[in-house]
Structure 1
């Protein structure tokens, strides 16, 4: 496989479909984005290594264009079991209401990382990105030898420096506006609420590293993409914007909620997974968010049966409705049409500035 050497060589347009774990990102969505000139991504988080491999095979059957695969980094064993037990007691009423048992919080904390890395080194893909930490230098060097371009998600300038030192090819700079989990390398509850806005973060990261930047966080329109490119990013990653596309694997309830006026705002919460993640504020977040401890992925495993039962019953009030701050700008377009619309908006914004 020939190595691609910079962000511009991966797609016609600097538009990346952000990897969204949990089912939203799938081969169909990634292929549609790639076919329209963007960069499609698969999300390996919460999947077995075999499931990841099968999705890669499916995507290759649908497109010959470059694509990426996102991995979750293993998490340190620093979670307080007693805090998780207390939270489980609080959620007993939720389990009873939805007629399900709570999940096993000790169902695993490495997300099959080593097996997934082994598969991706044996059968390389064009790009691999990492969330919740930075791989060791030896891992990144192995991907480089395999011809794979590596990207590390960062939320601070210090994390960007760590990624550069370890040998990453690029960083995905994630602003606090982003939907879903904040990809911070270390989960420190004392830093809750201290996230940095995307435009400010791009500038701060550019001051300390020389790596190419993919900008992520609340981006929904072409003019916003133009703005982050002008600020120094080489590409823009959009998640929530693609979440409502028919190719997305997100549940219909989740898609509908993004533009439903009932959900007026988003909030960073630990309620569902024990790690800060931005979602539409629903009953579950209001009732449990303030009590949720730092406990990822233990709380993810604990609450998963409740979330699934709520989805099966058609009740979005106990689902994790991940969404960025721009969710009300979501448009029900096919993935290809959305890429075309974003490109047209970018051109219009550039002409207006000329």
Structure 2
């Protein structure tokens, strides 16, 4: 018996992770649901209007799904540090003829409007990452039947999440691609294997756990479930599927032997995130200050120009450690293959 899966109305203990910035699509969320699992609409970096449109597209299919929201956890950057890093990047920007923001842009990614949307048009599951929502937000989501989950990277974060009353936890190991969900992005992300982290969190709190970070094989799913998770969640291995919205250069890089490994860097956004090693990570990681979302907005014009040009030297190639297992196949096939040993 798996109460978490039963409550969500799903049968497959492998979920599709939310991937902000375009890689996650309604088609990918729908494919996960039709395979028997669950996918997440990524609210991050979308306007409330665009989020509502994506939620509507998935809701119309009738599959169970979740929505992942960036909870505010700003990392302010000193203006002098911001200007220094902008100057370091300026030659790259000039090469592409793009302007970088002169001053730090600090925002909350439309937090209030997105919460209002989720209260007015409830969804089966809402998960939060980066920061903790207030207990009042968690309580407000419940009357409509929404299950609330929180992303955590340690037992201490799990206890803090339990204190605000969430229903479940997404336990993220450092092997995950993209941003770390850590509550303390100013510090290095501990390198703890996923099964060990799941077991540690399970000892700390009595909440259902969804394990994520570096899972690329059925054995990884099985190990996470044996450690105490009720479901596993994958992202990187779905980036080359037909339903993925990953850019063509990103897809190609995942299979290119020239990209030999991954690294946790704050060079792109000022917050730790795992990506394929490239010119940008090697050249600018040491220069990048902590500062989110200011650095995300600073490098955005350059990253968009590089993506349009297919320049993988400068693109944020988010990737977990299992990126070589990403295959150009239907997402449902990937999810069912990974669930094979569950």
Question: Which TM-score band applies after superposition, normalised by the shorter structure?
Answer: over 0.9
Counterparts of 1:339 and 1:204, CA distance in 2? 26
Q: Is the contact between residue 75 and residue 290 of structure 2 (CA under 8 Å) also seen in structure 1?
A: no
- What displacement does 1:343 show? 2.9
Counterparts of 2:180 and 2:5, CA distance in 1? 23
Provide the residue aligned with 1:350 in structure 2.
none
Quick check: 1:275 aligned with 2:271? yes
Once structures 1 and 2 are overlaid, which stretch shifts more, 324-333 or 296-305? 324-333
Map 1:1-354 onto structure 2 (within 5 A).
6-10=4-8, 11-61=10-60, 63-76=61-74, 78-103=76-101, 106-188=104-186, 191-344=187-340, 346=341
Q: How many residues align?
A: 340
Counterparts of 1:209 and 1:7, CA distance in 2? 19
Counterparts of 2:238 and 2:37, CA distance in 1? 12
- What displacement does 1:39 show? 0.4
Counterparts of 1:7 and 1:111, CA distance in 2? 30
Q: Is the contact between residue 284 and residue 317 of structure 1 (CA under 8 Å) also seen in structure 2?
A: yes
Q: Is the contact between residue 155 and residue 195 of structure 1 (CA under 8 Å) also seen in structure 2?
A: no
Look up the SS of the partner of 2:313 in the other structure. helix
| Structure 1 runs not aligned, ≥5 long | 348-354
Q: TM-score, normalised by structure 2?
A: 0.96
Counterparts of 1:313 and 1:328, CA distance in 2? 24
Are residues 105 and 13 of structure 1, via their aligned partners in 2, closer, same or farther at CA, if it must alter by over 3 Å? farther
Counterparts of 2:263 and 2:118, CA distance in 1? 34
Are residues 105 and 299 of structure 1, via their aligned partners in 2, closer, same or farther at CA, if it must alter by over 3 Å? farther
- What displacement does 1:5 show? 6.8
Counterparts of 1:57 and 1:104, CA distance in 2? 37
Q: TM-score, normalised by structure 1?
A: 0.93
Counterparts of 1:89 and 1:54, CA distance in 2? 38
Q: What RMSD in Å do the two structures reach over aligned CA positions?
A: 1.5
Once structures 1 and 2 are overlaid, which stretch shifts more, 97-106 or 292-301? 97-106
Q: Is the contact between residue 43 and residue 67 of structure 2 (CA under 8 Å) also seen in structure 1?
A: yes
Q: Deviations over 1:279-312 (max 9, x none)?
A: 0000011100111000011000000000010111
The runs of 4+ residues in structure 1 deviating greater than 4 Å are none
Counterparts of 2:3 and 2:123, CA distance in 1? 14
| Structure 2 runs not aligned, ≥5 long | none
